[in-house]
Amino acid sequence: MIHNFNAGPSILPREVFEEASVAVLNYNDTGLSILEMGHRTPEFTAIMEEARSLVKELMQLDEHHKVLFLHGGASTQFMQVPMNLLNPKDTVAFADTGVWSSKAIKEARLFGKVEIACSSKEKGYTFIPNDFAVPNDARYFHITTNNTIYGTQWKSIPQTSNVMVADMSSDILSRQLDFNSFGLIYAGAQKNMGPAGVNLVVVDERILGKLKHQIPTIMDYRYHIQEESMLNTPPVFAVYVCLLTLRWLKKMGGVAAIEKRNQEKADLLYAEIDNNELFTTSVQKHDRSLMNVCFAAKNPEHEKMFLDFTVANGVYGIKGHRLSGAFRASLYNAMPLSSVQLLVELMQTFSQSVA
| Strand ranges across the sheet with 138-144 | 65-71, 198-204, 184-188, 163-167, 138-144, 91-96, 113-119
Active site residue 154: no
As a whole number of angstroms, the distance between CA 127 and CA 287 comes to: 6
The number of beta carbons lying within 10 Å of the beta carbon of residue 341 is 15
With beta carbons less than 8 A apart as the criterion, state whether 57 and 63 touch: no
DSSP 86-143: --TT-EEEEEE-SHHHHHHHHHHTTTSEEEEEEE-GGGTT-S---S----TTEEEEEE
Angle at CA 91, nearest 5°, toward 90 and 94? 145
As a whole number of angstroms, the distance between CA 291 and CA 145 comes to: 11
With beta carbons less than 8 A apart as the criterion, state whether 220 and 79 touch: no
Q: Which of 90, 96, 167, 171 is catalytic?
A: 167
Q: Which of 96, 154, 191, 265 is catalytic?
A: 191
Active site residue 100: yes
Active site residue 191: yes
Whole-Å CA distances, 198 to 97, 278, 339: 24, 40, 27
As a whole number of angstroms, the distance between CA 80 and CA 189 comes to: 17
DSSP 255-276: HHHHHHHHHHHHHHHHHHHHH-
Q: Which of 100, 204, 248, 265 is catalytic?
A: 100
User: Which residues is 70 bridged to in the sheet?
Assistant: 199
Q: What are phi and psi of 148, to 5 degrees?
A: -65, -35
The alpha carbons of the chain give a radius of gyration, in whole angstroms, of 21
Coil/strand/helix, residue 218: helix
Q: Which residues are catalytic?
A: 100, 167, 191
